[in-house]
Amino acid sequence: MSNSVVPPPVADRRLRVLVFAASLRKDSVNATLAQMAARQAALYGAVVDLAAMRDFDAPSYDADSEARGEIPAGALELNRRLTANDAFVIASPEFNGSMPGLLKNAIDWASRFRPQPFHERHGLLMSASPSMVGGNRGLWALRIPLEHLGARVFPDMFSLAAAHKALSGETIADPRLQQRFEQNVIAFLDLAEAAKNYPCMKKAWVEFLGESPDMPTDRVEVT
């Protein structure tokens, strides 16, 4: 029998990133943006999990269903995929100056799991819209529930204006804008990768609004 020492398993240092667009539409411009982000993350060396919003779609949140243990498959799937990844990228349409209802509903369902899957995960937000501001207001609305849940939402966001004309296949026609998109994704991945592999960084990041920890509004466990 050999008495050679078996080295301990090396932790997988590669960043794992969930990427999805919050649209069910077949020709979604946000799905194109999500695909571009996924491609950029793969080039960076991350392990990419490109998902479809249909996988996370769920009936409207209903506390009675939850109390009966009837958790929709879409909610289970979003929790599973977030938990399996270190970071997430959401490309979201803007609906009426805010996020689409299906995305807020998916976030509400996911927020009911413990451990709560957005807590401590790094998130990058992007949007595409035919408008001249590219759906950027919707991203500011989306920051609120995500930051409330303790996600580390990256300060820079990317919004593609006049998206129906700005895209050329799976790239942005204007090379300077394409470069800005790539820089934004890489800057986010750099931070998320550092947070994964250099855990001296502060982890808990959640606002407390004066509630006591046993309130029904509590949403994270802080050790």
Ligand X SMILES: Cc1cc2nc3c(=O)[nH]c(=O)nc-3n(C[C@H](O)[C@H](O)[C@H](O)COP(=O)(O)O)c2cc1C
Which residues bind to ligand X, rule: CB under 6 A? Answer: 21, 23, 25, 28-30, 93-97, 129-131, 135
Comparing CB distances to ligand X, the nearer of 111 and 136 is 136
Nearest distance, CB of residue 136 and ligand X, angstroms: 9
Residue 80: name the closest of 103, 104, 55 by CA.
55
* Structure tokens belonging to residue 136: 């950027």
Comparing CB distances to ligand X, the nearer of 133 and 215 is 133
Nearest distance, CB of residue 35 and ligand X, angstroms: 12
Helix (H, G, I), strand (E, B) or coil at 77: helix
Nearest distance, CB of residue 165 and ligand X, angstroms: 12
Nearest distance, CB of residue 40 and ligand X, angstroms: 18
Q: Report the interhelical angle of 101-110 vs 136-148 (nearest 10°).
A: 10
Output DSSP code: residue 53: G
Radius of gyration of the chain, Cα coordinates, nearest whole angstrom? 19
Comparing CB distances to ligand X, the nearer of 157 and 192 is 157
- Residue in this structure with the two tokens 């996020």, named with its chain if needed: 99
Comparing CB distances to ligand X, the nearer of 87 and 90 is 90
Comparing CB distances to ligand X, the nearer of 23 and 79 is 23
Cα 173 to the chain's mean position, in Å? 25
Comparing CB distances to ligand X, the nearer of 116 and 127 is 127
Nearest distance, CB of residue 168 and ligand X, angstroms: 16
Nearest distance, CB of residue 191 and ligand X, angstroms: 26
Residue 56: name the closest of 102, 90, 19 by CA.
102
Residue 166: name the closest of 134, 188, 189, 198 by CA.
134
Question: Phi and psi dihedrals of 86, rounded to 5?
Answer: -85, -25
